[in-house]
Structure 1
Amino acid sequence: MTGTDHSSDASTDGVLAALADPTRRRLLDLLADGGEATATALAERLPVSRQAVVKHLAVLAAAGLVVGGRVGREVRYSVRPEALNATAQWMAALASDWDRRLAAVKRAAEAAAPEADRG
């Protein structure tokens, strides 16, 4: 790449691994739309058991994407959008680097095109 190190760090790897599962992405969508929710309330909106939701929430929490807080006997989960910042910055840098590379390929192809027309 360029002189800048665009490699992901452990937190980015954890976020990407957590987001790889469609059920976990759906949980994040549900929490983002509704604010806070319990595992039971989330399980009612998904085709998986409450126990499966709890396991998925544990993965999301380990990646820093959700946080759970006790309210009486319940644990209410909410999204931590700031946890996506490092991953978003890494992805933006990666995309920018590829944009730069593709622009260079385009310039080279356009510069070679007039020569091909003459031949």
Structure 2
Amino acid sequence: AEAGNAQIAAAPIGALPERLYVFSPQGQLLPFDRGSTVVDFAYHVHSDLAEQCRRFTVNGRQVEPSAVLHHLDIVELEHDVKAPGPNRLWLLAAHTSRARSAIERYLKRQGAGA
């Protein structure tokens, strides 16, 4: 796996026109479309856990839900069952249809509309 990661890291950005790769804290390499945000990462990992996300961290720095992912970022999510859950700002930050759909469903369940 390390050899594959080294190849991706060494590839010129132009060679990866529509995709970028980010790492989970456990070292798992995950593909995303360019323009994806930490909200998209959260929903890629697990919808239920995304709804419990209290804090987003990229490369050791706390970021806003609208933070755009960059090639080879390390993305970490802090979960808390008492977290307030997704809101309309998350919906605006979501780039992928998967994340947008999940957030819209959550907001409807909460009576906030979408």
Higher RCO (Cα < 8 Å, 6 or more apart): 1
Is the TM-score greater than 0.5? no
Q: Could you state the TM-score of these two structures normalised by the residue count of structure 2? A: 0.29
Q: Which structure has the bigger radius of gyration?
A: 1
TM-score by length of 1: 0.28
Higher fraction of strand: 2
